[in-house]
Amino acid sequence: MTPAEYYYDSSDDEWTCGDCRETTYDEDDMISHLHDAHWFCEPCKQLFTSESARREHWSNSGRHRHNWCALCEDLIRTYENLQEHNDRVHWRCRVCSTVFTVEWRRNEHETDSHLWCPTHRRSFRTQANYNAHMHSVEHVGRFQNCPFGCGHKLPDRSAIVQHLESGACASGVSRPTIDGFIQANDRNRFVITSAPQRLIEGPAPTTSYIASEKSWSEARRAYVCVLCGNDYSSLNALNAHLASPRHTYSSPTSPGGEKPYKCPNANCGRTFVTLSGVVQHAEFGSCGLLQMRGICRALDNVFSGGRLLLK
**Whole-number Cα distances in Å, 67 to 49, 79, 87, 200, 294:** 22, 10, 14, 74, 59
pLDDT score at 223: 93
141 dihedral zone (left: phi>0; alpha: psi -120 to 50; beta):
left
| 3-state secondary structure at position 301 | helix
pLDDT score at 56: 87
CB of 24 closer than 8 Å to CB of 14: yes
Q: How would you classify the pairing of strands 6-9 and 116-117?
A: unpaired
Question: Binning pLDDT at 50, 70 and 90, where does residue 83 land?
Answer: confident
Q: Give the mean model confidence (pLDDT) for residues 207-212.
A: 78
First-to-final CA distance of the chain: 91
Among 39-48, 238-247, 293-302, where is mean pLDDT lowest? 293-302
Q: For 140-183, what is each residue's pLDDT tens digit?
A: 666 778 888 888 888 777 888 888 888 888 888 888 888 888 87
Q: Give the mean model confidence (pLDDT) for residues 85-100.
A: 81
Domain borders along the chain are 2-67, 144-205+256-310
Measure the CA dihedral 266/272/277/278, to 10°. 20
pLDDT score at 46: 86
- How far apart, in whole angstroms, are the C-alpha atoms of residue 244 and residue 230? 13
pLDDT for residue 291 is more than 50 = no
269 dihedral zone (left: phi>0; alpha: psi -120 to 50; beta):
left
Q: For 240-264, what is each residue's pLDDT tens digit?
A: 887 776 666 555 555 555 678 888 8
Please give the mean pLDDT across all residues of the chain.
Answer: 78
How does DSSP classify residue 258?
Answer: -
pLDDT score at 216: 92
Q: Give the mean model confidence (pLDDT) for residues 76-100.
A: 76
- How far apart, in whole angstroms, are the C-alpha atoms of residue 20 and residue 31? 13
Q: For 224-245, what is each residue's pLDDT tens digit?
A: 988 888 899 898 888 888 777 6
- Tell me the backbone φ, ψ of residue 100, rounded to 5 degrees: -125, 155
Enter the pTM of the model: 0.47
78-88: b or e for each residue (b if 16 or more CB lie within 10 Å)?
Answer: eeeeeeebbee
Percentage of residues in the chain having pLDDT higher than 70? 78
DSSP, residue by residue, 49-63: SSHHHHHHHHHH-GG
pLDDT for residue 199 is more than 50 = no
Among 121-135, 207-221, 228-242, where is mean pLDDT lowest? 121-135
Q: Degrees (nearest 5) of the Cα angle 146, 149, 150? A: 80
pLDDT score at 202: 46
pLDDT for residue 119 is more than 70 = yes
What pairs with residue 23 in β-bridges?
Answer: 16
